[in-house]
Amino acid sequence: MPRRGLILAALVLVLDQASKWWILLDVMAPPRMIEVTGFFNLVLVWNPGISFGLFGGGGGRWLLAGLAVAIAVALVVWMVRTVRPWLAVALGLVVGGALGNALDRLIHGRVVDFLDFHLAGFHWPAFNLADSAITVGVVVMLVDSLFEKRAAPNI
């Protein structure tokens, strides 16, 4: 089971980094906004905080990168020990996303966000594929825990 999660983590990491380099080198060479649809734009936002721009006060480059790597290592250990396929998938998504954003911090000092969804003047904070993978992974983990078969208590 952990193999599936490890492959997914690697895939998320590669896709996340490839999409960010594509945005940086090809799409946003001179920083600008590209309107894709009436509710979705490609933008370039440098995020010194965590997912969706939270805690963006700056100054935490090494702390946040180190914390993300430490959490990813702990989750990989959990993934290797699990026998539940959906938990392995969830952990793979979170690990890949955490490592993708940690790599950004180590290379750029901040995270590259570029997906901008908006509706009626409200813009959700810009995010990236790593943020999406982390969010989906946490949701899958919660759903998996709801349906996990628990051993009957010994009374």
pLDDT one-digit tens code per residue, 2-53 = 788 999 999 999 999 999 999 988 788 766 788 899 999 999 988 887 655 5
Asked whether residue 103 is assigned to any structural domain, the reply reads yes
Which position has the token pair 């590259």?
112
Q: Which amino acid is at 7?
A: I
Whole-number percent of the chain with pLDDT over 70: 86
Give the residue with greater pLDDT, 85 vs 62: 85
Domain count, the chain: 1
Asked whether residue 118 is assigned to any structural domain, the reply reads yes
Asked whether residue 95 is assigned to any structural domain, the reply reads yes
CA gap 133, 100 in Å, rounded: 10
Residue of 16, 116, 131, 144 marked catalytic: 131
Asked whether residue 35 is assigned to any structural domain, the reply reads no
**Residue 50 in tokens:** 């965590």
Q: What is the domain range of residue 102? A: 2-23+42-146
Are 112 and 28 spatial neighbours (Cβ–Cβ below 8 Å)? Answer: no
Which position has the token pair 């180190």?
66
Rounded average pLDDT over 107-117: 93
DSSP 8-state symbol, 38: S
Active site residue 131: yes
Asked whether residue 74 is assigned to any structural domain, the reply reads yes
Asked whether residue 87 is assigned to any structural domain, the reply reads yes
Are 91 and 5 spatial neighbours (Cβ–Cβ below 8 Å)? Answer: yes
The pLDDT, as a whole number, for residue 155 is 58
Asked whether residue 142 is assigned to any structural domain, the reply reads yes
The pLDDT, as a whole number, for residue 151 is 53
Active site residue 113: yes
